Chain A
């Protein structure tokens, strides 16, 4: 079987898909050459992610990875997101085929970008 049951389940029933109003941070990542794109919206309470929503354009694994990652990062601190490894996201969908590893890369990149945006906005608010 090419894709794991966990991956297919997330693909069929994506969690936290869609826009978020007035997020605390937004970040996107595009995978060059492939055109896969992920965008994450974060809501942060007391330094931790209280809600993560996403939008993607890409093959099934990218959609599934984004869905799984949205659950994975909820409850984590913003700093933890900055060091989020693609492998963690891959593990959350029980593995990706060699030629689809980029799904985890693009999702991790979007989440790091969203976390940076949260910090940037917080710094801006302090001034």
Chain B
């Protein structure tokens, strides 16, 4: 195996060299606890302050509205449970295709006595703002809708939903983990109150993320302990990680618009190439309102994990839309919610491109998919396809 092509950027990304360089001193030189009053602590605190300012500038929000967390999952849990906990009881609105961090937090809240409406999506994976409006009840205390779905990349009409939320005085949480640093997000114009974002999807390190909380939004802490993060999230800050996140955001501010154009073109080249060569392939997700680098493609009749394995053996990293664990295979809940027929949903493969992806990579992938899929189809029992 010589060529290696990574097309799983929605899962994680490599740390940008500029990010790594900025982080390194905070492991062993400026290693102090930012809560300490001495010089060592102040050095670490200064690193945190710079990072917080960078993220605040990028989002056009106040630095003190940002809370750093350990990951997108924690940010989502904090957003949803923190909002609910501060209100004690009531009704939440979310969608059926949210990340599990939101879905399972909502399910947990149901167990605590809260009511939750899980909105359906259309065939492109889009939430209808009118349905959000219809779902609002007098006791609705929060709405949580993702900015873009990680599996199919469909971008939700968050500004329209935000306007409805504001009109009804309902706080609005947006899981922007897949869009932060890739698309422009105007939290003021979209009337967003809480925004989850993460570092390792944008060439920052793993284990660091954040939640932006609009000033005045009532929240309770989910994690208790010290006075960190203005008493909203206890625990010594992950200083090198936060420094890295701050730098990653700064780099994204510089590079993301140019990269968006380039990656969108490559994404479309991939789909056009596969569509021209592989029979019975379909693109899942919205044709245009979609993450720049995401192409979720189904091959009817084949099993996605075998495509992933076949491509892996050619040095290509993509991810399966269905997962076979302990002998039971489940098609993706996102594709099921979109109404994708089962024999297509089982053969869904997600390709997610990023800053290192080249046209040569894409052509190599197109050339590899065709024989991989046709070989798998050759061993299919008649009638199974």
Contact = CB atoms under 8 A, between A and B. Distances in A.
A and B together in one complex: yes
Contacts of B382: 19, 55
B287 to A, nearest CB: 29
A108 B32 CA distance: 61
A31 B384 CA distance: 13
Contacts of B329: 33-36, 59
Contacts of A56: 379-381
A112 to B, nearest CB: 17
Interface in B336-385: 346, 376, 378-382, 384-385
Contacts of A37: 381, 384
Interface stretch (B82-90, B216-224, B245-253, B303-311): B303-311
Task: Determine which residue in B301, B326, B346, B379 has the highest number of CB atoms from chain A within 10 A of its CB, and name it.
Answer: B379
A57 B324 contact: no
B313 A12 contact: yes
Interface string B288-308: 000000000000011101100
A28 B306 contact: no
Please classify how large the interface on chain A is, using the bins under 10, 10 to 19, 20 to 34, 35 or more: 20 to 34
Contact of A57 (B310, B326, B380): B380
Contacts of A20: none
Contacts of B326: 99
B381 A11 contact: no
Q: Secondary structure at chain A's binding surface: helix, strand, loop or mixed?
A: mixed
Contacts of A36: 303, 329
Looking at chain B's contact residues, the main secondary structure is loop
B324 A99 contact: yes
Interface in A87-111: 99-102
B303 A59 contact: yes
Interface in A57-78: 57-60, 63, 66
Nearest to B384: A57
Interface of B: 301-303, 305-306, 309-310, 313, 324-329, 346, 376, 378-382, 384-385
Interface of A: 3, 8, 11-12, 14, 17-19, 28, 31, 33-37, 39, 54-60, 63, 66, 99-102
23 contacts: A3-B309, A11-B306, A12-B310, A14-B379, A17-B379, A18-B378, A18-B379, A28-B381, A34-B327, A35-B346, A39-B381, A55-B379, A55-B382, A57-B381, A57-B384, A58-B303, A59-B306, A60-B306, A60-B309, A63-B306, A63-B379, A99-B325, A100-B324
